[in-house]
Amino acid sequence: FVALPEDAATPTFQSDTEELYVCQDYTISKQILESGDLERTFQTLTGKNREDLEVIQTAQETHDRYDFVWTSAGEEGLQLGRACILDDGNYHYTLTTMTREESFDEVRETIQDMFDSCKLLDLDVNLSTGS
């Protein structure tokens, strides 16, 4: 459901519903969560309530899409997070990236390309195939 960059060739962690990639200057997380409780999904991805985020909601063909960014303090300084949720009514397909503030300009284009490619191609989304 997303085209990953070349430096995310192999997941660091993988389960039936989640993949985590640790790249040089950022991390990528892909998760499939049950639909129905959007507030819970925002909390899971960011630790924040939806009302504390500036969320852009759009319609993509047969599903809703929610895009948002946030910051958080990390061990190595300020972390910039970006995420999207694709809601087909059954599942929340999520893509999340985190990068250190000082590295963001170097990976901005890579992250933008990933989020531009994030789409549901059919109802049988499988994390391991990337479709």
> What one-character-per-residue DSSP string does 63-127 give?
EEEEEEEEEEEETTEEEEEEEEEEE-SSEEEEEEEEEEGGGHHHHHHHHHHHHHH----SS---G
Question: pLDDT tens for residues 34-83?
Answer: 999 999 999 999 999 999 999 999 998 889 999 999 999 878 789 999 99
Q: What is the pLDDT of residue 55?
A: 97
**Averaged over 99-103, what is the pLDDT?**
93
Give the DSSP H/E element, type plus range, for residue 20.
strand 18-22
Cα-Cα end-to-end distance for the chain = 4
**Averaged over 6-35, what is the pLDDT?**
92
Q: What is the pLDDT of residue 81?
A: 96
